[in-house]
Amino acid sequence: MAIIKYLGHSAFEITLTGLDGSEKNILIDPWVENPLSPVKVSDYKNRKVDYIFVTHDHGDHLGNAIEIAKLTGAKIVGIFEIALYAKEQGVESIDGNIGGRLKIDDLDVVLTPATHSSTRGAPTGVVIRGKDITLYHAGDTGLFMEMSLIGELYMPDIAFLPIGGHYTMGIREAAKAVQLIRPKIAIPMHYNTFPPIRADPEEFKKLVEKQTPTKVVILKPGDTFTYP
């Protein structure tokens, strides 16, 4: 089971069961100062956060990861250059690179390609597998054919996909990504934070559910979704 809370933009707070059977609390791309966010950095003081996953080093994704890690003692997980930067800021981190399983005992983690840019290191997505669920957060990306391999190799139950266009996939491309990945659930993200990425998630839902058996779950910032 996983409890997923949407924090706006591409930020998520997730509770799931780790491979060791213990409860894990994770954040992905925690830019919690985004205009739509229902939380603030200080809300994480004295809270348990085990890992913070950062897909790439842009301000709207690395976001408040360092601050939250300092408040909580969470480990930052990301590509080598981001993990090195975290260590330089006095934060414990786990570094990796694209395509190989990271050596984390209680979660199965793989950094995946993303077609985008990044200030430090290459942009990535991330696959996170716990005891009974596999998640794929695509980060910021355009559509690419290797998404079919992510679906084939890791069979994610839930895929978090950008739909806002301009800097990432738009609705049409993200719907095609669902066809390639074949998740049970698709959750749209990275839309409506700024004028250039205005998009209608209902349009994405309609297109995906017409073309595929995947169910689209639309979350407003602050909403939670429990799977299964």
What is the count of structural domains for the chain? Answer: 1
pLDDT band at 105 (very low <50, low <70, confident <90, very high): confident
DSSP annotation of 152: H
47 within domain boundaries: yes
Tokens (6 digits) for 68: 């939250």
pLDDT of 39 over the 90 cut: yes
Q: How does pLDDT run across 174-195, given as a tens digit for each residue?
A: 999 999 999 999 999 999 999 9
Mean pLDDT, rounded, for 201-215:
98
Mean pLDDT, rounded, for 49-73:
98
Q: How far apart (Å, rounded) are the C-alpha atoms in residues 60 and 81?
A: 17
Would you state the pLDDT for residue 21? 95
Q: Are 93 and 87 in contact (CB under 8 A)?
A: yes
164 within domain boundaries: yes
- Phi and psi torsions of 111, nearest 5°: -80, 130
pLDDT of 149 over the 90 cut: yes
Would you state the pLDDT for residue 109? 98
Q: How far apart (Å, rounded) are the C-alpha atoms in residues 193 and 190?
A: 7
Q: Report whether the peptide linkage leading into residue 228 is cis, meaning its omega lies within 30 degrees of zero.
A: yes
Compute the Cα dihedral for 108, 220, 42, 57 and give only its sign: positive
- Phi and psi torsions of 17, nearest 5°: -95, 125
Strand partners, 3: 15, 226
The pTM assigned to this predicted structure is 0.98
Would you state the pLDDT for residue 124? 98
Would you state the pLDDT for residue 27? 98
Would you state the pLDDT for residue 5? 98
Residue 132: count of CB within 10 angstroms of its CB: 13
225 within domain boundaries: no
CATH number of domain containing 207: 3.60.15.10
62 within domain boundaries: yes
Residues 6+ apart with CB under 8 A from 195: none
212 within domain boundaries: yes
Q: How far apart (Å, rounded) are the C-alpha atoms in residues 36 and 14?
A: 18
Residue 153, domain extent: 2-220
228 within domain boundaries: no
Question: What does the longest C-alpha to C-alpha distance in the chain come to?
Answer: 48
Mean pLDDT for all residues in the chain:
97
Would you state the pLDDT for residue 46? 84
138 within domain boundaries: yes
